[in-house]
Amino acid sequence: MARGGRNKRRMCPTTPDSPDRLPAPGDQPRILIVGAGPTGLGAGYRLKELGHTGFTIVDRSGHIGGLASSFTDDAGFTWDIGGHVMFSHYSYYDRIFDRLMGDDFTLNNRESWVRLMDRWVPYPFQNNVRYLPPEIALECLSGLIKAQTGRGKIASPDHARNFGEFIDAVFGEGIARVFMRPYNFKVWAHEPEMLNKAWIGERVATLDIDRALRNVVLQKDDFGWGPNNQFKFPLFGGTGEFYRRFGPVLEGHVQLNRSLVSIDVDRKVASFADGTGEPFDHLLSAVPLDVLCTKILTGEVPARVREAAARLLHSSAHMVGIGIRRPCPSTKSWMYFPEDNCPFYRVTYLSNYSPNMTPDKDRCYSLLCETSESEFKPVNRDTIVEETIQGLENAGLLEPGERRDIISTWHHRADYAYPTPSVDRDEILSQVIPWLEQRGIHSRGRFGMWKYEVSNTDHTLMQGVEWVNHLFLGEPETTIGLRYQATGDGLDGAVHERARVAGSGEKRALHAATDPIPTPGDIDEAHLSEEELGITNRP
C-alpha cells in the first residue's frame, strides 16, 4: 500500500466546479432527492455545479453516505458496510474524488484469493487450478474444455436460460461444482438458476482454455491482479469519509433524520414521518424500488406496477468486523470462500487498505467478514458473530489461540445489500420505471434501479449525476444501460449502452434505446464491478 496523491491537489473545497450552465433564474423546478447515499450526493453535487439552488436531499438516517458509510467502534477500529473497493469507470467521478480527498488516500495493490480444500488459490480461479489436488484440477480442466468446445451440459452460453446454466456453459461442470455454484449461492443467497444471465452481458464468454492448460502443465502462476491493478481508499475514516466530505459542499441542502413515508403521485407531494409535506416537480429516489412502489406511493397507482415491484428479489447481509491485537499476518486484500465450513462469502483485510483503520497500525489488524441472508438462506442473528469467528478458524485465517487476541467485534446487518438480478428483473423494471418517470418520480441507484451491474459507488454516484444532466442538458443516462461485454479473454470490458428494457420511458430515452451502441463512457478500459462473483479474467 502506498500513500496516495501523485500531484498536489486542492483540498476539500466548499463548492464544486464553476457552473457549466445555469437554469433560467426564477425558472427552476423544485427537486426533491430522497437518499443521501452516493446517488443522491452525486445528483446534489451536479445540481450545485450547474447553479441550481432549488433542491433538497432528505435521508431517514442521521448521517450521509448510505451503504457507503463507515463507522468507528469504541475500540478505535473503523468498519465499512462490506469491503468497498473503488474501481472507477468515470473521469468525472475521479475528479470529484480528487477534489474532495486531495492527498488523503492510499493506493493499494489488489491481491485476491480463493480459499478451498485447505489451500489458497490465486484469483482468477480457472487460471490457477494447478493449486488444487490433481484429480480436482483434472475435473476442472476437463469440464472447462468440454464447455468451451460445445460438449458440456449446456451447449453454449447462448443456450443458457439463467445464470446457473451460464456458469455450466462457460466454466464447465468441474469449476461449477467446486467453486462457481457454491460461491455464488453464498453471495446471492439465491440459487444461480433464479438469476438472469443478462447482468453479466449477453455476449458469449470465451475463456482461454490454452492458458488454463498451459498454467497446469508448465506449473505457472497466473494472477489476475498485481501492480497495475490498484485501487484508492480514503486515508482516514474508511470508505465513508469520501461521502462525508460532500456534507460541506451541500450545506443547507441536506436534511437528515427525515423519513419519507408517502408520495401522492397525483398531487406530486411527498410526506414525511415528522408530519411535514413537500411538493415537487421532480423527485429522485434511492429508496428500494419495491418499498417505494408497495409502501410509499399513494393515489392512482395501477396494481400491475405494485405487483411487478413486489416481485423484485434482494438479499440482506451481515457485516462482522473482527479487530485483533496482533501485527497483520498477510498482504492479502480480500478472499472468497465457497465452502460451507464458514458462513461468510468474502473476508477483507480492511487494515491493509489504510494504516488508520485500527487503533494501532503496527500492533492491530482487522478482518471484515460478509455473510448473505435471504428466505432461502437464513442466518441466526444472535450467533453470527461467534459463527464468523469459528469460520475464520476453520478457514485458517485465525491461528489456534488467536481468538484470545480479539479485542473488538462489530456487527451490522444491511437489510437491503444485494439487488438480485432475478430472471424477470428486466421485465419488472420495464413495467415500473417508465410509469414512474411519467409522474416525475425518478428511481435511481443500487436499489432504486435494481441493476446490480451498475450499482457500485462510482456507478450510483454517476446515476445521480447523469440524471441531472438528462433533466437539464438533455443528455442520455448511459450508466443505467451499462452492459458488460465479453472480450476474447473472458469477461473483461464494459460498454455503456442504453438498456432496451430498463430505464426511462421518456421519448428521448426510448429513441436512445434503439440507437447503436454509443461511444463508450469516460474510460474505455473498465474494471468489472463483479469482482465478488469470480467471473473476471483480467490479463
Ligand X SMILES: Cc1cc2nc3c(=O)[nH]c(=O)nc-3n(C[C@H](O)[C@H](O)[C@H](O)COP(=O)(O)OP(=O)(O)OC[C@H]3O[C@@H](n4cnc5c(N)ncnc54)[C@H](O)[C@@H]3O)c2cc1C
* In the complex, minimum distance from the CB of residue 314 to ligand X, in angstroms, rounded to a whole number: 10
* In the complex, minimum distance from the CB of residue 86 to ligand X, in angstroms, rounded to a whole number: 6
Does residue 124 have a cis peptide bond before it, meaning omega lies within 30 degrees of 0?
Answer: yes
Which one, 214 or 272, has the nearer CB to ligand X?
A: 272
CA distance 94 to 170: 34
Which one, 102 or 238, has the nearer CB to ligand X?
A: 238
- 146-175 in b/e burial notation, b at 16+ Cβ within 10 A? bbbeeebebeebeebebbbbbbbbbbbbbb
CA distance 521 to 214: 35
Which one, 163 or 242, has the nearer CB to ligand X?
A: 242
Give the count of beta carbons closer than 10 Å to the beta carbon of residue 116.
21
* In the complex, minimum distance from the CB of residue 79 to ligand X, in angstroms, rounded to a whole number: 12
Separation in Å, CA 399 to CA 256, 391, 403, 414, 510: 43, 12, 8, 29, 57
**How would DSSP label each residue in 103-139?**
T-EEEEE--EEEEETTEEEESSGGG-GGGS-HHHHHH
Which one, 68 or 265, has the nearer CB to ligand X?
A: 68
CA distance 28 to 176: 54
Instruction: Give contact residues for ligand X (rule: CB under 6 A).
Output: 34-40, 58-61, 66-68, 81-86, 259-260, 286-287, 317, 370, 414, 417, 445-448, 455-458, 460
> Residue 516, SS3?
coil
Name 73's Cβ contacts closer than 8 Å, sequence gap at least 6: 79, 321, 323, 408, 410
Which amino acid type is present at position 249? V
CA distance 102 to 10: 6
Give the count of beta carbons closer than 10 Å to the beta carbon of residue 438.
12
- In this structure, are residues 172 and 291 in contact, taking their beta carbons and an 8 Å threshold? no
* In the complex, minimum distance from the CB of residue 45 to ligand X, in angstroms, rounded to a whole number: 12
CA distance 23 to 109: 43
Which one, 32 or 170, has the nearer CB to ligand X?
A: 32
User: What is the CA 90 to chain-centroid distance, rounded?
Assistant: 15
500: phi then psi, degrees, rounded to nearest 5: -85, -25
Ranges assigned E (strand) in 177-259? 230-234, 254-255
CA distance 122 to 116: 11
- In this structure, are residues 178 and 144 in contact, taking their beta carbons and an 8 Å threshold? no
Separation in Å, CA 350 to CA 206, 330, 334: 33, 11, 8
Which one, 290 or 370, has the nearer CB to ligand X?
A: 370
Which one, 4 or 38, has the nearer CB to ligand X?
A: 38
Ranges assigned E (strand) in 427-520? 441-443, 482-487, 490-496
Which one, 295 or 403, has the nearer CB to ligand X?
A: 295
* In the complex, minimum distance from the CB of residue 125 to ligand X, in angstroms, rounded to a whole number: 19
* In the complex, minimum distance from the CB of residue 49 to ligand X, in angstroms, rounded to a whole number: 18
Which one, 1 or 510, has the nearer CB to ligand X?
A: 1
- 399-415 in b/e burial notation, b at 16+ Cβ within 10 A? eeebeeebbbbbebbbe
Q: Which residues pair with 116 in a beta bridge?
A: 119
Cell numbers 457500485 label which residue? Answer: 456
Which one, 32 or 147, has the nearer CB to ligand X?
A: 32
* In the complex, minimum distance from the CB of residue 277 to ligand X, in angstroms, rounded to a whole number: 14
* In the complex, minimum distance from the CB of residue 465 to ligand X, in angstroms, rounded to a whole number: 12
Scanning 356-491, the segments in alpha helix (DSSP H) are 384-394, 425-437, 457-473
* In the complex, minimum distance from the CB of residue 120 to ligand X, in angstroms, rounded to a whole number: 21
* In the complex, minimum distance from the CB of residue 38 to ligand X, in angstroms, rounded to a whole number: 4
Which one, 461 or 512, has the nearer CB to ligand X?
A: 461
* In the complex, minimum distance from the CB of residue 289 to ligand X, in angstroms, rounded to a whole number: 11
* In the complex, minimum distance from the CB of residue 320 to ligand X, in angstroms, rounded to a whole number: 12
Residues belonging to the chain: 539
* In the complex, minimum distance from the CB of residue 55 to ligand X, in angstroms, rounded to a whole number: 15
Which one, 129 or 528, has the nearer CB to ligand X?
A: 528
* In the complex, minimum distance from the CB of residue 534 to ligand X, in angstroms, rounded to a whole number: 14
- In this structure, are residues 56 and 251 in contact, taking their beta carbons and an 8 Å threshold? no
Which one, 62 or 474, has the nearer CB to ligand X?
A: 62
- In this structure, are residues 322 and 393 in contact, taking their beta carbons and an 8 Å threshold? no
Q: Which three cell numbers stand for residue 503?
A: 430505464
Which one, 152 or 421, has the nearer CB to ligand X?
A: 421
